[in-house]
């Protein structure tokens, strides 16, 4: 390098340059050439290193090396080679010039610090990607903690860069943080609140990636796709993305459907309103019709025998239906629904299983089905529920029952036309 510098200086002197300016120009030209060599070294290093690393990672069955490559760890490490090369060459070029060497040392130190921060940040990113590939990541997410580490890393990197540039000890900057702590807390308010909220969410097992949550106050209803330091991203069922502040999940209420997913069933809770004017005792004709329904065989044989014994024991005058016990069409309908649902293989038979009457209202008597499907997929669940109520509505007339339905415009017009014909 010195020989090249001397040769270039002599050549510039022969061209008529002033010795002082010729020497400086020679150093500048050598420095430019050195920078070009460093750029070439970076290109070769990245090309060779990345090819070797990618080929090696492709031949292994493990995933961690692929994530290291994808996160750019080796690509960022490649910058060390040209910086070290530049440091060695520049010290030779500016040998004897203490001021220039000091500037070069500062630039090299800052560059190596920035590269170290970038490499560690890429490592944290790779660790997060590797961890999220394991099932335990849904139960114990670490994304929030990794983001906190990245914030701390960038903060320490910034302090180190300032200490190198200003030639001060990092302790001086840390000692001055006490006075500016209030400002820092204001600047990093969301990050601090998010950190505390993230710890609470993880410690209390409140929400994981992949959970279905509902939070009407934030317009969120869908799957959690990311739990970050300051935000939680939810992909709604209409494929939009809702971004929720992490601390909002602790400060406000939300519904997590994870329990349903873990239970193995999905609740069906729907009722049909019966017109109460269609409810009556079962006469012989209706009982004969019911006896032809196979699902009612066991129920009718048991209930008719029990009713007969009760009436004989009490001496009830059954010529009048108000005396003694008698079956009703709505009670028999409930028994039929229980038998029908018990035969349905798409319902979870071990979970809560109810067919019940609710409080009668001006809109009729609600008969509610409260069961769980064994298929939690939304489309399949809706199909199971629809099939059940298709059947319920279709069999109601067989029990001489009517569904309550408020009069429509067509009903009013038909009544009006009937009165006009009269």
> Who contacts 319 (Cβ-Cβ below 8 Å, separation ≥6)?
none
User: Looking at residue 149, what is its pLDDT?
Assistant: 82
What percentage of the chain has pLDDT greater than the value 70? 81
Q: Is the pLDDT of residue 359 over 90?
A: yes
| Mean pLDDT, residues 179-203 taken together | 71
Query: How many Å apart are CA 82 and CA 103, to the nearest integer?
Result: 17
| Mean pLDDT, residues 204-223 taken together | 87
3-class DSSP state of 192? helix
3-class DSSP state of 362? coil
* pLDDT tens figures, 59-91: 777 777 778 877 888 888 888 888 888 787 777
User: Looking at residue 406, what is its pLDDT?
Assistant: 79
Residue recorded with tokens 């001489």: 400
CB 215 within 8 A of CB 244: yes
Query: How many Å apart are CA 90 and CA 30, to the nearest integer?
Result: 9
- Write the DSSP symbol of residue 220: E
| Mean pLDDT, residues 100-111 taken together | 82
CB 307 within 8 A of CB 325: yes
Q: Is the pLDDT of residue 16 over 60?
A: no
Q: Is the pLDDT of residue 276 over 80?
A: yes
Q: What is the mean pLDDT of the chain?
A: 81
If one compares 196 and 369, the residue with the highest pLDDT of the two is 369
User: Looking at residue 22, what is its pLDDT?
Assistant: 45
Please give the CATH topology (third level) of the domain spanning 203-263. SH3 type barrels. (2.30.30)
> Who contacts 218 (Cβ-Cβ below 8 Å, separation ≥6)?
242, 244, 248, 252, 254
pTM listed for this prediction: 0.56
In this prediction, residue 399 has a pLDDT band, given cuts at 50, 70 and 90, of very high
Q: Is the pLDDT of residue 247 over 60?
A: yes
CB 329 within 8 A of CB 286: yes
Structure tokens at 38: 């460093």
User: Looking at residue 2, what is its pLDDT?
Assistant: 46
Query: How many Å apart are CA 149 and CA 142, to the nearest integer?
Result: 11
Query: How many Å apart are CA 128 and CA 402, to the nearest integer?
Result: 60
Most confident range (mean pLDDT) of 164-168, 170-174, 206-210, 368-372 is 368-372
In this prediction, residue 95 has a pLDDT band, given cuts at 50, 70 and 90, of low
Burial class (CB in 10 A: 0-12, 13-18, 19+), 401: buried
Q: Is the pLDDT of residue 268 over 60?
A: yes
Q: Is the pLDDT of residue 177 over 50?
A: yes
Query: How many Å apart are CA 253 and CA 251, to the nearest integer?
Result: 7
Query: How many Å apart are CA 288 and CA 377, to the nearest integer?
Result: 41
CB 124 within 8 A of CB 76: no
User: Looking at residue 236, what is its pLDDT?
Assistant: 93
Q: Is the pLDDT of residue 10 over 90?
A: no
Most confident range (mean pLDDT) of 96-110, 156-170, 192-206, 210-224 is 210-224
* pLDDT tens figures, 120-137: 988 888 888 887 777 766
Query: How many Å apart are CA 103 and CA 99, to the nearest integer?
Result: 6
| Mean pLDDT, residues 5-11 taken together | 53
| Mean pLDDT, residues 112-122 taken together | 90
User: Looking at residue 72, what is its pLDDT?
Assistant: 80
Long-range CB contacts (within 8 A, 24+) of 2-8: 2/92, 2/95, 4/30, 5/30, 5/92, 5/93
| Mean pLDDT, residues 303-325 taken together | 85
Phi, psi (rounded to 5 degrees) for 215 = -140, 85
Q: How many other β-carbons are positioned within 10 Å of the β-carbon of residue 62? A: 9
Q: Is the pLDDT of residue 20 over 60?
A: no
User: Looking at residue 1, what is its pLDDT?
Assistant: 47
Domain layout of the chain by residue ranges:
2-193, 203-263, 266-408
In this prediction, residue 30 has a pLDDT band, given cuts at 50, 70 and 90, of low
| Mean pLDDT, residues 160-189 taken together | 73
In this prediction, residue 233 has a pLDDT band, given cuts at 50, 70 and 90, of very high
């Amino acid at each position: 390098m010195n020989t090249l510098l001397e040769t270039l200086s002599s050549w510039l002197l022969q061209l008529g340059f002033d010795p002082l300016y010729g020497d400086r120009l020679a150093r500048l030209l050598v420095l430019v050439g050195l920078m070009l060599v460093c750029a070439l070294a970076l290109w070769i290093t990245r090309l060779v290193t990345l090819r070797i690393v990618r080929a090696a990672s492709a031949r292994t069955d493990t995933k961690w090396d692929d994530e290291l490559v994808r996160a750019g760890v080796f690509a960022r490490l490649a910058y060390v080679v040209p910086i070290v090369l530049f440091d060695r060459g520049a010290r030779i070029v500016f040998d004897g010039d203490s001021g220039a060497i000091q500037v070069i040392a500062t630039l090299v130190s800052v560059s190596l610090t920035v590269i170290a921060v970038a490499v560690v940040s890429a490592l944290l990113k790779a660790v997060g990607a590797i961890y999220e590939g394991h099932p335990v990541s849904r139960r114990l997410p670490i994304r929030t903690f990794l983001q906190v580490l990245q914030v701390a890393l960038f903060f320490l990197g910034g302090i180190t860069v300032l200490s190198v540039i200003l030639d001060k000890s990092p302790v001086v900057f840390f000692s001055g943080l006490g006075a500016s702590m209030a400002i820092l807390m204001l600047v990093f308010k969301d990050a601090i609140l998010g950190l505390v909220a993230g710890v609470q969410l993880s410690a209390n097992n409140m929400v994981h990636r992949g959970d279905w949550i509902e939070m009407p106050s934030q317009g969120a209803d869908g799957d959690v796709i990311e739990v970050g330091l300051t935000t939680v991203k939810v992909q709604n069922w209409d494929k939009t993305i809702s971004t929720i502040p992490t601390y909002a999940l602790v400060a406000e209420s939300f519904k997590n459907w994870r329990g349903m997913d873990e239970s193995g069933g999905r609740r069906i809770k729907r009722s049909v309103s019966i017109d109460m004017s269609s409810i009556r005792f079962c006469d012989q004709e209706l009982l004969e019709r019911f006896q032809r329904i196979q699902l009612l065989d066991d129920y009718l044989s048991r209930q008719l025998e029990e009713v007969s014994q009760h009436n004989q024991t009490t001496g009830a005058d059954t010529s009048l239906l108000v005396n003694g016990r008698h079956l009703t069409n709505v009670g028999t309908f409930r028994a039929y629904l229980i038998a029908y649902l018990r035969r349905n293989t798409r319902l979870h038979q071990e979970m809560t299983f109810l067919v019940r009457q609710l409080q009668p209202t001006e809109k009729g008597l609600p008969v509610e089905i409260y069961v769980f499907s064994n298929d939690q997929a939304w489309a399949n669940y809706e199909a199971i529920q629809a099939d059940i109520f298709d059947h319920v509505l279709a069999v109601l007339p067989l029990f001489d029952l009517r569904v309550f339905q408020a009069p429509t415009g067509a009903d009013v017009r038909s009544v009006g036309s009937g009165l006009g014909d009269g």
